[in-house]
Homo-oligomer: A and B are copies of this chain.
Amino acid sequence: MPLELSASQALGLWHAVSFGQVKLDGRDLTLRQMAILLEIYLVPPPHTVRGLAAKLGVTKPVITRALDTMGDMGFVTRERDERDRRNVVIKRTVDGALYLEKLCDLIIDQGRALKP
């Protein structure tokens, strides 16, 4: 069920959603942070710092910092892995799910409102 977008639709959608996100939600997440957050919520767990860093092609401190920030926002939690106590497992939260749900609504609404 692929999605066939015209150039105008593609950029128009990106524009409208970025725009709406800036106006409606004061938080100014970086593209990296957004990618990390979506990775955590859309890909089956478990998620680790190491794994996310490798998958996104960034260094580990980038992930640690992003998790710090998004942890403060209440979007993620960290827990030690009891099976191998070197690892830290990243957990989803209700607030994070709500945040992405709002983003999802925005994307759908803006897609629906697209001019041809």
Residues of A within 8 A of B (CB): 1-5, 7, 9-15, 17-19, 21-23, 28-32, 34-35, 38-39, 41-42, 56-58, 100, 103-104, 107-108, 111-116
Contacts and interface: CB of A to CB of B under 8 A. Distances in A.
Task: Determine how many copies of this chain the complex contains.
Answer: 2
A19 B39 contact: yes
Given A2-B112, A19-B56, A107 B10 contact: yes
30 contacts: A1-B9, A1-B116, A2-B111, A2-B112, A2-B113, A2-B114, A3-B5, A3-B13, A3-B114, A5-B108, A10-B104, A10-B108, A11-B38, A11-B103, A12-B42, A14-B17, A14-B34, A14-B38, A14-B103, A14-B107, A15-B35, A15-B38, A15-B42, A19-B39, A19-B56, A21-B35, A22-B56, A23-B57, A29-B31, A30-B30
